[in-house]
Amino acid sequence: FYNLYSLEQLDLSNWDDSSLIPGTPVDGIGYSGNIFGSAFGTVKSLKSFTVGAKWSNTGYLAKLIELASSSTVPTDGKWYAASDGTAYESTAISGNRADTYYTTKTLLD
């Protein structure tokens, strides 16, 4: 997803993240942290991402998105779960919880 500047929604609901163990090499992208690029602002328009129950490290994914967006996503530092509106910091999002996470609370309305 590197350099997808206009990507607004990311649906990984049918994906499995077992090959994205933090700090390990992954074929085609180098280290797992490179799935979104780097802290140079390569993901500028993302408004939401969706993960399924097979995604075990949602907080790690959220942190990678934040780093790749140069700290502009999410705007207030919280991700909002579509299922119940709960606000999470990236490190507090539990894995294996299928949900869609929005960058702002207003997108839930």
- How far apart, in Å, do the first and last CA atoms of the chain sit? 27
The pTM score is 0.80
pLDDT at 100 over 70: yes
Mean pLDDT of the region 10-37: 69
What pLDDT score was predicted for residue 38? 59
What pLDDT score was predicted for residue 34? 62
For all residues of the chain together, what is the average pLDDT?
79
